[in-house]
Structure 1
Amino acid sequence: MLTTFLITALFLQVSFSIRTSRDIIYRAPNVTSPEIPLDVFQVEAPLRNTYEGAACQQVIMQHNFTASYGSPYVGTYSPPKNCTFTTTIFNMSITSIGINYDRLGLIFLGDIEVWRTTTAMPVRTGIYYNFQKDMTIFDTLLQSEQKVIMELDNIYDSVFTGNYDVTMTALYFNDHDKATPADLILPISAELSSQNKSSVLSLPDGNATVSFTLPRNVERAVVSILASGNGAEEFWYTNVPTQYDDTFNNTALSGYGPWREVQLLVDGQVAGVGWPFPTVFTGGISPGLWVPIVGIDTYDLPSFEIDISPWLGVLCDGKSHTFAMEVVGYDSVTTLGTVGSNWWITGSIFLWVDSAGSQTTGTTIQSSTAAPSFDFAPTIGTASGLNTSLLVSLSAHRTISHSSTITTSHGPRTLTWSQSLSYINKQNFTALGYNATLYQLTSGTSSYSPLLSHPSTETDLITNSYSYPISFTQQYIVPIDPTVVNSTLIADLDRSKLTSRIPILSYLTKPSVFSAPEVLSTRQNGSCIYFWNNTYYDFAGAIDPAMGTLGATEQWFSFSGPVESGGMESYGRHVRAIDGYVPVLTEDETFDHTIEVPETQIVPGNEL
């Protein structure tokens, strides 16, 4: 199978040329490299049929991140003058030439994080890309002057020669749709903007707790949370319970288990949780998988939303209340336990006030927040008194619900937030832990109540669903002396993201648009052989394609959703790419309709 793949990849690499026919509003500038910079793109449905016809636009940030550790960009955002707009889109354009790792970018308006992104990995001949994000839910911030802070910590020296030249442009459209954005947005963050620092929090080492006294006439409240594992927690879904991390008496395995839960607590009680999407950065699993097609959600890391409106009877009493976030893992000894360092997290509390009301009241909250249930099964293989393999299987389930009757100027109304989550992870480690197969499936639903002004019954809830299967193999071949002979990584990946949803914040901001849910189905499948050694470029060789890479990635993408002015009802795209010394986009088809997306396949031996 692998031999066939390599022969096919070699043939395709010499038989096709790069094509970039996408509708973009920014193209790479002239650069000093004699070769054309590579467009490294994320497959995503365009936000609009065209980006022309904006009511106005302005550049809100332009900065070159070189040696930028601890030195974020700090600037000022001002709303456009003499311009009426209902929709705002930010376009981020990035170019880079040189050698470097992928970097995490965090963008704040004041103390509120509005966008989290990761970069593509630069190469000698240069890369560029741009990506658009709808920022309309932050309209209450965009209508006034704000401090703009972007943190993109980057090493830049004689070895790491790739910088990141970033331009952020705001496009404003007057779509004539009546928008009802949040009246107030409060940060759950470190609140360091006054010191010209990003306000990101790091768990579990830090404390993600804030206190606020809310207006007494709030009629809807939603919390949005951004959380990503970095450093030791970047590949959290490949970890094993701590008591098994020394199974092979080496450092091949990491502890704290492969399950993570991000919790929101209101006054110390769990209001809702998120089981994270397994984001793979462009240096993840094998860098050769991500040129020129990057991973799902790479340029726009997903947030998750929790409707805390059932708590308004308590939160609108004129007293101070605490909002906290925690990240917990599974440990076979303590069940719910701590996790490794560097979960970077922020939250935002979106509030809609009842302009005709003076005091929101509510009944006692009816809650069900039982702890998650787990089923864990380990199997250790031995030979000649040594551990030779480790097979671990972990499943988890949880349900949460909160409901109360809230009274505003609209009258009494029962508001509900509920979640049902399921998870399974199966991993098989051999060759002293250097060879591994994994299959993980995270799925669930969440339900929330429609607008207060809409007729409603107890069963009239809006339900969102998701499913995140991921399956991969990794084989590390490490020679006795890696300074003389190349090491080898062979990796195969197959994963999907399947969602059907009406996002709470988008729905509350533009309720007239969401007559139907957004339905997304996308799958990525790839294989890669990667070579490097431990002396090339002073240990930087593993990030240089010149060291030797042969990979191929294919992606199917299908999206349908409600249409607002300028938007697209459905979209499909199918792409294939070969990554070698010269990455090649071999196939790129776009469609104005949905397409069939094959299912992710489970790695043989990891069947459930």
Structure 2
Amino acid sequence: MLAAVLCFVLSAVWGPLHLASATTYENSSSTGLLDVFQVEAPLRSSFGSSVCEQVIVQHEFAASYGTPYVGSYAPPVNCSFTTTIFNMSIVSAGINYDRLGLLFFGDIEIWRSTTAMPVRTGIFYDYQKDMTVFDTLFRSEQKVIMEMDNIYDSVFTGSYNVTITALYYNDGFESFSPADMIIPISTKSSASNASSVISLPDENATISATIPRNAERAVVSILASGNGAEEFWYTNVPTEYAATFNNTAIYGYSPFREVQLLIDGELAGVSWPFPIVFTGGISPGLWVPIVGIDTYDVPSFEIDISPWLGLLCDGAAHTFELKVLGYDTKTLLGTVGSNWWITGSIFIWVDDHGNQTTSTTMQSVTPEPSFNFTPIITTSSNSSTNTSLWVSLTGQRSLSHTSTITTSSGSRALTWSQELSYLNIQNFTSLGHNETLTQLTSGTSQFSPRTSNTSILTNTYSYPITFYQAVTTPADATEANSTLFAILDRSLLSSTTPILAYLTTPTIYTTPAVLATRQNGSCMYYWNDTYYEFAGAIDPAEGTLGMTEQWFSFEGPGTDGSEVEYGRHVKAIDGYEPALIEDEISATTIAVPDTVFLI
């Protein structure tokens, strides 16, 4: 247990929703349960105008390890709709960890979320997610599988009561063009009533698929999250330095991760992931009642593979492979620890009037990434004991694919390109018990518009994160409390035209969605080795004093085509009585201060 604590106390090592804070579909605050929410802009001006709705999942996940929920979906009857929004409501009371939830329609993962951690008096939350890009799935019957592995016994008394409701809207878009088909990159285990998630690096994430000869656009969407020893991958060090301190657990395989998509063995695109912090991560007292950025909706990453269509539309089977790699001081890119849960989906639009899509020879530029790594180890002058470790890792990568494809509507150039940069600095002191970290991942991707008379679309994003944690452990941890003091400051900054949403409803994505949000918090946390008996260490009402502040500013299109401006500033304390002490909501964007790096 102590090792798990030192690599972020009380994280859900067994596995880890989009709260429209101003307008929730179902408000349960009258129940007296604590609303544990994610700050997010409302998806639309009103949720009350749905043309129909139905419950997709209603299930209590108690002792659910290896036993997913299995149900069925049928399209709504006599209901004409374009936009589909799922509302997830969860209620839990008792003691438990955060849990990872994976929702599949057949073999295709459509939502990955992670829960809040419950308290004895009970929590609830609602979160709404725009599901319109999966429209083709909602037009036919589907097997519904939801995996949420949970321990439920005399100690872990918190079950998760989950209700997912589909809300359908007819927004009357001038152009509505969802993908014609979606091909899963998964284990395809739904026939066995199991989720189809792939575990890397232990399994293989390769499929063989035949793309329609008349495909005119194709995009791969990837969901990937680290779990177990990989949950806090950004705190790792290159493997040869993992044993710097003999008495503390520092994981290897470096603090860098790259998720790759390969087509027929050639690199098509990559993701340098956003560092998700689940509600058991860094310090649980940071996440009550405000959860972390993207906690309830683990983000996917999209790669436009349309430049490949001249090769893929030949009627033959082609391989699609997903990999997760880390920096290796000897081989540049190497394997990672266990485990990353990953799936992918190939979204395909076809040319109804065409027979076969052809193209010019694709021009590809995919050099290896470049890295610069510097380690400094300090050793005690009185002994050979290592007392501190300072490491710095920087990285750069660029890639591009361009071709001109020809369909029944003519010829047009298609491009996918990426530029990425990375910085990670860590300082381990006090024999590895204390750590300071700063990381900055930035990137730009470019893809071609739907028509040749529109400029190339550019997405930018930046993920700064910095924190400090100090752990004090007594000689007898069964008799006295250990302490964890943690400070966290991080942001998510982006200006994006989401590829799948843009191709599905292009008339509403005329301008990029601009998001800036920052979370800043600190927490003192106490626990001891007897927590299994008394459960005090995993209940925020016991032995915790934390405060978290968040600024959130958004400007972009809503799902109903309206232009949304939204700002919110919140501050919360966690302790014997968790509470929201400041909550200012604005109908305009707000100023968001920068994350301040600790090193």
Task: Answer yes or no: same fold by TM over 0.5.
Answer: yes
Residue 60 of structure 1 aligns with an amino acid whose one-letter code is I
| Corresponding residue for residue 469 of structure 1 | 464
- The question of 1:53 aligning with 2:49 is answered yes
Looking at structure 2, the residues matched to 363 and 540 of structure 1 have their Cα atoms a distance apart, in angstroms, of 64
CA deviation profile, 1:500-528 (whole Å, cap 9, x unmatched): 00011000001111110000000000000
| Corresponding residue for residue 400 of structure 1 | 399
Corresponding residue to 1:176 among 146, 168, 172: 172
Corresponding residue to 1:223 among 194, 205, 220: 220
Which aligned pairs between 1:481-560 and structure 2 lie closer than 5 A?
A: 481-538=476-533, 540-560=535-555
Corresponding residue to 1:586 among 574, 581, 587: 581
Instruction: Identify which range, 516-525 or 410-419, moves more after superposition.
Output: 410-419
| Corresponding residue for residue 27 of structure 1 | 27
| Corresponding residue for residue 421 of structure 2 | 422
Q: Is the 8 A contact 1:288 1:528 kept in 2?
A: yes
Looking at structure 1, the residues matched to 564 and 96 of structure 2 have their Cα atoms a distance apart, in angstroms, of 38
Which aligned pairs between 1:296-315 and structure 2 lie closer than 5 A?
A: 296-315=293-312
Q: Secondary structure of the equivalent of 2:557?
A: coil
Looking at structure 2, the residues matched to 78 and 128 of structure 1 have their Cα atoms a distance apart, in angstroms, of 28
1:61 offset after TM fit, Å?
A: 1.0
1:547 offset after TM fit, Å?
A: 3.0
- The question of 1:340 aligning with 2:337 is answered yes
Q: Is the 8 A contact 1:549 1:579 kept in 2?
A: yes
1:567 offset after TM fit, Å?
A: 3.9
Q: Secondary structure of the equivalent of 2:281?
A: coil
| Corresponding residue for residue 279 of structure 2 | 282
| Corresponding residue for residue 594 of structure 2 | 599
Q: Is the 8 A contact 1:373 1:397 kept in 2?
A: yes
| Corresponding residue for residue 113 of structure 1 | 109
CA deviation profile, 1:168-213 (whole Å, cap 9, x unmatched): 0000001000310000000000000011000000000000000011
Q: Secondary structure of the equivalent of 2:501?
A: helix
Q: Secondary structure of the equivalent of 2:268?
A: strand
Instruction: Identify which range, 491-500 or 355-364, moves more after superposition.
Output: 355-364
| Corresponding residue for residue 36 of structure 2 | 40
Looking at structure 2, the residues matched to 254 and 23 of structure 1 have their Cα atoms a distance apart, in angstroms, of 42
Q: Is the 8 A contact 1:534 1:541 kept in 2?
A: no
Residue 534 of structure 1 aligns with an amino acid whose one-letter code is D
- The question of 1:80 aligning with 2:76 is answered yes
Instruction: Identify which range, 345-354 or 377-386, moves more after superposition.
Output: 377-386
Looking at structure 2, the residues matched to 426 and 138 of structure 1 have their Cα atoms a distance apart, in angstroms, of 39
Residue 214 of structure 1 aligns with an amino acid whose one-letter code is I
1:478 offset after TM fit, Å?
A: 0.6
Flag the 1:82–1:209 CA change in 2: closer, same or farther, 3 A. Answer: same
Identity %: 68
CA deviation profile, 1:310-341 (whole Å, cap 9, x unmatched): 00000000000000000000121222110001
Q: Is the 8 A contact 2:21 2:40 kept in 1?
A: no
Which aligned pairs between 1:129-144 and structure 2 lie closer than 5 A?
A: 129-144=125-140
Residue 65 of structure 1 aligns with an amino acid whose one-letter code is F
Number of positions where the alignment pairs a residue of Structure 1 with one of Structure 2: 577
Looking at structure 2, the residues matched to 437 and 519 of structure 1 have their Cα atoms a distance apart, in angstroms, of 30
Q: CA RMSD, aligned part only?
A: 1.3
Q: Is the 8 A contact 1:47 1:567 kept in 2?
A: no
- The question of 1:242 aligning with 2:239 is answered yes
Residue 276 of structure 1 aligns with an amino acid whose one-letter code is P
- The question of 1:328 aligning with 2:325 is answered yes
CA deviation profile, 1:517-555 (whole Å, cap 9, x unmatched): 000000000000000111133384321224300000000
Residue 191 of structure 1 aligns with an amino acid whose one-letter code is K
| Corresponding residue for residue 317 of structure 1 | 314
1:455 offset after TM fit, Å?
A: 1.8
Flag the 1:263–1:560 CA change in 2: closer, same or farther, 3 A. Answer: same
Flag the 1:539–1:246 CA change in 2: closer, same or farther, 3 A. Answer: farther
Residue 223 of structure 2 aligns with an amino acid whose one-letter code is L
Flag the 1:563–1:299 CA change in 2: closer, same or farther, 3 A. Answer: closer
| Corresponding residue for residue 254 of structure 2 | 257
Looking at structure 1, the residues matched to 293 and 565 of structure 2 have their Cα atoms a distance apart, in angstroms, of 18
| Corresponding residue for residue 352 of structure 2 | 355
Looking at structure 2, the residues matched to 568 and 100 of structure 1 have their Cα atoms a distance apart, in angstroms, of 40
1:250 offset after TM fit, Å?
A: 2.5
Looking at structure 1, the residues matched to 509 and 540 of structure 2 have their Cα atoms a distance apart, in angstroms, of 44
| Corresponding residue for residue 6 of structure 2 | none
1:454 offset after TM fit, Å?
A: 3.9
1:30 offset after TM fit, Å?
A: 8.0
Instruction: Identify which range, 471-480 or 529-538, moves more after superposition.
Output: 529-538
| Corresponding residue for residue 4 of structure 2 | none
| Corresponding residue for residue 268 of structure 1 | 265
| Corresponding residue for residue 122 of structure 1 | 118
| Corresponding residue for residue 9 of structure 1 | none
Residue 418 of structure 1 aligns with an amino acid whose one-letter code is S
| Corresponding residue for residue 17 of structure 1 | none
Q: TM-score, normalised by structure 2?
A: 0.95
Corresponding residue to 1:365 among 356, 362, 365: 362
Q: Which runs of 5+ in 1 are unaligned?
A: 1-19
Looking at structure 2, the residues matched to 184 and 489 of structure 1 have their Cα atoms a distance apart, in angstroms, of 49
Q: Is the 8 A contact 2:217 2:348 kept in 1?
A: yes
| Corresponding residue for residue 453 of structure 2 | 455
| Corresponding residue for residue 67 of structure 1 | 63
Residue 26 of structure 1 aligns with an amino acid whose one-letter code is E
1:157 offset after TM fit, Å?
A: 0.1
Residue 500 of structure 1 aligns with an amino acid whose one-letter code is S
Looking at structure 2, the residues matched to 375 and 489 of structure 1 have their Cα atoms a distance apart, in angstroms, of 32
Residue 229 of structure 2 aligns with an amino acid whose one-letter code is A
Residue 157 of structure 1 aligns with an amino acid whose one-letter code is D
Q: Is the 8 A contact 1:262 1:274 kept in 2?
A: yes
| Corresponding residue for residue 191 of structure 1 | 188
Q: Secondary structure of the equivalent of 1:512?
A: helix
Q: Is the 8 A contact 2:444 2:459 kept in 1?
A: yes
| Corresponding residue for residue 441 of structure 1 | 440
Q: Secondary structure of the equivalent of 1:538?
A: helix
